[in-house]
Amino acid sequence: AIEAWYMDCSDEDQRKPHRLNPNQPVSLDELKKLGVFYWKLNADIYEADPALEKIRKDHGYSYMDIITIQRDSLPNYEQKLKMFYEEHLHLDDEIRYILDGQAYFDVRDKEDRWIRIAMKKGDLITLPAGIYHRFTLDETDYTKAMRLFVGEPVWKAYNRPADDFDIRQKYLASLQGS
């Protein structure tokens, strides 16, 4: 399974793990309560994987593309990494499948604390519309990820504060009692 933990507050390199001392792990169950879902797949067969096909069909993930996040592959690398690490939300779910390399997704918990999710090859994650989050490479500086979407993709990110969106209020309401 994936590993997740609460982050420290240090300003050090964002690519470092930023674990608390002692480490404070976050379970898959706790992530589920935040609306974050996870699958483990075999990334070596992503081009013809029945398990991936089933997830795409069940959830209507009709769109997909592949992004390589690496200095010499991604145009405007520095600028994009900076954008990805700004705390933001989207009006739709963010669905990412790590095909190679590794990276971190950080999400806010109910008390507004940062949880760092370590994504490795074969990890597929869905972040719900309206959750505040951010993304960074780790110290390996490389990942290749599949981006999935229901219908025509909308990548627009709204940096925090973005609390006036209906989807944000809907997300907060969905946390009640979970």
Cβ-based nearer residue to ligand KMT, 56 or 96: 96
In the list Ni ion, ligand KMT, none, the entry touching 171 (Cβ below 5 to 8 angstroms by class) is none
Tokens 């999710």 correspond to 117
Cβ 127 to Ni ion, closest distance in Å? 7
Cβ 169 to Ni ion, closest distance in Å? 19
Characterize 48-65 residue by residue with b for buried, 16 or more Cβ atoms within 10 angstroms of its Cβ, and e for exposed: ebeebeebbeeeebeeee
Tokens 């002692």 correspond to 22
Cβ-based nearer residue to Ni ion, 157 or 175: 157
The residue nearest Ni ion at its CB is 94
Which bin fits 85, alpha (ψ -120 to 50), beta or left (φ > 0)?
Answer: alpha
| Binding span for Ni ion by CB under 5 A among 31-39, 69-77, 90-98, 100-108 | 90-98
Residues lying near ligand KMT in the complex (CB under 6 A) are found at 67, 84, 94, 96, 135, 145, 157
C-alpha closest to that of 91 among 119, 48, 57, 128: 128
Cβ 134 to Ni ion, closest distance in Å? 7
